[in-house]
Amino acid sequence: MRGLIMRCARIPGLFFLLVGLFLLSGCKPMITAVDPDPAEPGTEITITGSGFGSSQGSVLYDGDSLSISSWSDSVIVATLPTDKPNGTYDLWVIVGIQGAMIQHTVEDPSVECSSNADCPASSDYKWATTCDPDTNTCVECLIDEDCSSDSLGPYCSSKLCVCSTNDDCTGNANGFYCDNSSLYTICSCVTGMDCPSGKTCIGDAFGTPVCE
């Protein structure tokens, strides 16, 4: 009988514990916007929403805690990391045991790329498919292997794919002739005979004869 009474006596304690946790958790936070979006690394962002509470919680950006300069129930001001590469990340506002998430984008206009995947082939710069980690810009090449499928030449010189002899241009899409008349020697053409079957030797947007 005494054991039964003790077990029953524990129930109110558990009830009050659950009520306390509910009160501590408060309302579930909600994020409605982050401004600016996208934002440059190291800049302040303003997070608006509701249910943040009057006591400061935490803001996580891709798992890292952000420095918070202002906190209210509906507005939070925090600073992004200075070393975050371009990309889209999860932003969390943590309040007690509750949390809300929204995705936010970092975009540094001075950073053209962070990996080769950021340098896709395009109609204008189809050869700039390698990301230079020193300058975060797309270049033709860093090593000879980067020129294996390049249309300008098989060798890398000053981050440009070049050729040294006509033999280097055998079967090249731009032409079978190694033109050394410009600053860099590149595969080019003189007549249609220097082109693959079905192609004609014409000038490209830069005035260099290529097979099209």
Return the pLDDT at 3.
43
Residue 25 has pLDDT above 80, yes or no: no
CA-wise closest residue to 86 among 50, 118, 116: 118
Q: DSSP label at 39?
A: B
Stretch 22-37: mean pLDDT: 80
CA distance linking residue 143 with residue 67, whole number of Å:
41
pTM comes to 0.52
Return the pLDDT at 166.
92
List of residues 6+ apart from 149 with CB closer than 8 A: none
Return the pLDDT at 80.
97
Residue 2 has pLDDT above 70, yes or no: no
Q: In Å, how far from its chain's centre is CA 31?
A: 23
Residue 101 has pLDDT above 90, yes or no: yes
Return the pLDDT at 58.
97
pLDDT (tens digit per residue) in 157-186: 888 889 989 999 988 888 899 988 767 788
Mean pLDDT of the chain: 83
CA-wise closest residue to 84 among 39, 54, 132: 39
- Domains of the chain and CATH, by start: 26-106 (2.60.40.10), 116-211 (no CATH)
Of the pLDDT bands very low, low, confident and very high (cuts 50, 70, 90), residue 39 is very high
